[in-house]
C-alpha cells in the first residue's frame, strides 16, 4: 500500500459528464437488479416510459447482466472536451460517426475491428492499475460483449439509426427533465470542491481525502493513489445526479471518481444487506440446517423430525416456524398432522440472490492456492 504524502500537490478537475451518466440512467430502468434502487420520483418516470421502449431495449443494448457500460466505452472515442458538453452535442458526434472514422482509428491502432479497438483502448487506459477491469472475470466479460455490441451498432446503418432514436426518446423526454431537477444539488456538490485551499486546480491528495466521503473509492482503493501521484492519470472529480457514492472509471488518461455523498442509494444498499442477512439467519443454526437436509426431498411431520434428531417436539416447532417465515419450508396439512418439506424454488432463489449480491460467478472456480 502506498503512503499518502499530504504535502504533494496533484492536478485535478471538477466535471459533469452526461455521457457517463447514461449507463446508470438506462440501467436503472432496464436492468432488474438496478430497478430495485429507484426512488419514488424515478418510479413515476419508469411507469411513464412506453412498453415498446423496453421491448426495443432487449435488442439495442448489450446483454451483460447487471453491468451496463456501453457509454463508458464509447467515451474512449470522444475528444476530451466533448465529454463535458451538453447531451445534444455528444449525441450529434456519436450518432454521426461513419465507417471511415472507425476504419481510420483501427488502422492507427493496428487492429482489424471496432471491438478490438475498444478493448485495446480499455487495456491501455488501465495498464497502470493493479486492480483493472480485466482482473475481474465479470467485468472482462462485460467489456468483450459491450465492444462486440458497439461494433454491431456501427456496422449496420439501420441498426445504428434505430439505436440513437431509441436513446434520444429516453433522454429527451424522461432523463434530461429529471436531471434538470437535480441541478441545485449538483451545484452544491461542485461548490464543496471549488476553492477552500484548492487554488489553481491543485491540491494535496491528503487534503482531498479529508473532504471526500468515506465511501469514496479513493479511500478504500488505495491502489488508485499511485497513478495519480505519479502523474500517469489525471484526477477528475465527477459531479453526477444519482449519488453514485463509490463509482469510478478510467477514461483515457483520466481517473473519473464520483464525489457524491452516500444518500438514497447508500440507504437502499444497506436495506438490501439487512434483508438478505435476516433471511440468512434461518440458516445460522445447525439443527435447522439438519432439518432442511432431511426434508429436502421428502416431507416429514414434527414428531418424525424430533425423533430423528432426538430433540423435543416444541424445539422442532420453533425451528420449523423460523424456516417457514424465511420462506424455505412449505407446510402441508395431512389430516391431524402437518408435514413439512423444503421449498426448493425459494431456496434456490435465496442462494441466487446472495450470489447476485456478492457477484459470485458459479461457473468460475477460484484460483488454486
Quick: pLDDT tens for 207-232.
Answer: 888 888 888 989 888 888 888 888 88
User: How many whole angstroms separate alpha carbon 277 and alpha carbon 73?
Assistant: 35
pLDDT at position 195 is 63
User: How many whole angstroms separate alpha carbon 198 and alpha carbon 259?
Assistant: 15
Phi and psi of 257, rounded to 5°?
-125, 125
Give 288's Cβ-side CA count (13 Å radius). Answer: 19
Quick: pLDDT tens for 103-159.
Answer: 999 999 999 999 999 999 999 998 878 778 888 888 899 999 999 999 999 999 999
Phi and psi of 84, rounded to 5°?
-100, 5
Say if residues 146 and 70 touch (Cβ distance below 8 Å): yes
Among 332, 272, 274, which Cα is nearest to 302's?
332
Tell me what percent of the residues of the chain surpass a pLDDT of 70: 93
If you average pLDDT over residues 169-191, what whole number do you get? 93
Phi and psi of 256, rounded to 5°?
-100, 120
User: How many whole angstroms separate alpha carbon 258 and alpha carbon 246?
Assistant: 7
Q: Which residue has the cell 473519473?
A: 256
Per-residue DSSP letter, 241: S
User: How many whole angstroms separate alpha carbon 75 and alpha carbon 236?
Assistant: 14
pTM above 0.95? no
Quick: pLDDT tens for 284-336.
Answer: 899 999 999 999 989 999 999 999 999 999 999 999 999 998 899 999 998 88
If you average pLDDT over residues 7-31, what whole number do you get? 88
- Strand 337-342 versus strand 300-301 pairing type: antiparallel
For the chain, domains (ranges, CATH) are: 9-262 (no CATH), 266-358 (1.10.10.10)
pLDDT at position 2 is 43
The separation between CA 128 and the C-alpha centre of its own chain, rounded to angstroms, equals 23
By three-state DSSP, how is residue 333 classified? strand
User: How many whole angstroms separate alpha carbon 235 and alpha carbon 203?
Assistant: 11
Amino acid at each position: 500500500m502506498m503512503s499518502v504524502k499530504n504535502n504533494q500537490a496533484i492536478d485535478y478537475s471538477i466535471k459533469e459528464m452526461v455521457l457517463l451518466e447514461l449507463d446508470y440512467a438506462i440501467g436503472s430502468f432496464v436492468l432488474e437488479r438496478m430497478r430495485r434502487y429507484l426512488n419514488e420520483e424515478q418510479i413515476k418516470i419508469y411507469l411513464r416510459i412506453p412498453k415498446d421502449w423496453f421491448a426495443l431495449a432487449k435488442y439495442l443494448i448489450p446483454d451483460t447482466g447487471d453491468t451496463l457500460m456501453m457509454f463508458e466505452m464509447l467515451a474512449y472515442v470522444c475528444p476530451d472536451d466533448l465529454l463535458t458538453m451538453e447531451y445534444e452535442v455528444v449525441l450529434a458526434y456519436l450518432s454521426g460517426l461513419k465507417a471511415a472514422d472507425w476504419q481510420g482509428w483501427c488502422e492507427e491502432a493496428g487492429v482489424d475491428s471496432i471491438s478490438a479497438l475498444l478493448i485495446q483502448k480499455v487495456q491501455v487506459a488501465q495498464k497502470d492499475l493493479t486492480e483493472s477491469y480485466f482482473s475481474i472475470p465479470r467485468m472482462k466479460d462485460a467489456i468483450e460483449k459491450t465492444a462486440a455490441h458497439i461494433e454491431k451498432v456501427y456496422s449496420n446503418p439501420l441498426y445504428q439509426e434505430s439505436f440513437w432514436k431509441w436513446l434520444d426518446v429516453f433522454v429527451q423526454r424522461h432523463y434530461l427533465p429529471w436531471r434538470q431537477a437535480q441541478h441545485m444539488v449538483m451545484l452544491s456538490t461542485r461548490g464543496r470542491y471549488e476553492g477552500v485551499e484548492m487554488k489553481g486546480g491543485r491540491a494535496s491528495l491528503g487534503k482531498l481525502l479529508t473532504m471526500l466521503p468515506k465511501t469514496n473509492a479513493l479511500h478504500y482503493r488505495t491502489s488508485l493513489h499511485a497513478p495519480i501521484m505519479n502523474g500517469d492519470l489525471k484526477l477528475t472529480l465527477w459531479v453526477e445526479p444519482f449519488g453514485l457514492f463509490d463509482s469510478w472509471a478510467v477514461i483515457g488518461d483520466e481517473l473519473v471518481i464520483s464525489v457524491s455523498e452516500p444518500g438514497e442509494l447508500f440507504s437502499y444498499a444497506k436495506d438490501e444487506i439487512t434483508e438478505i442477512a435476516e433471511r440468512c439467519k434461518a440458516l445460522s443454526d445447525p439443527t435447522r440446517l439438519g432439518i432442511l437436509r432431511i426434508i429436502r426431498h421428502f416431507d416429514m411431520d414434527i414428531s418424525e423430525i424430533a425423533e430423528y434428531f432426538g430433540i423435543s417436539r416444541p424445539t422442532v416447532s420453533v425451528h420449523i416456524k423460523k424456516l417457514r417465515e424465511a420462506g424455505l419450508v412449505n407446510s402441508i396439512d395431512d389430516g391431524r398432522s402437518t408435514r413439512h418439506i423444503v421449498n426448493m424454488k425459494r431456496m434456490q432463489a435465496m442462494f441466487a440472490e446472495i450470489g447476485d449480491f456478492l457477484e459470485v460467478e458459479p461457473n468460475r472456480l477460484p484460483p488454486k492456492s
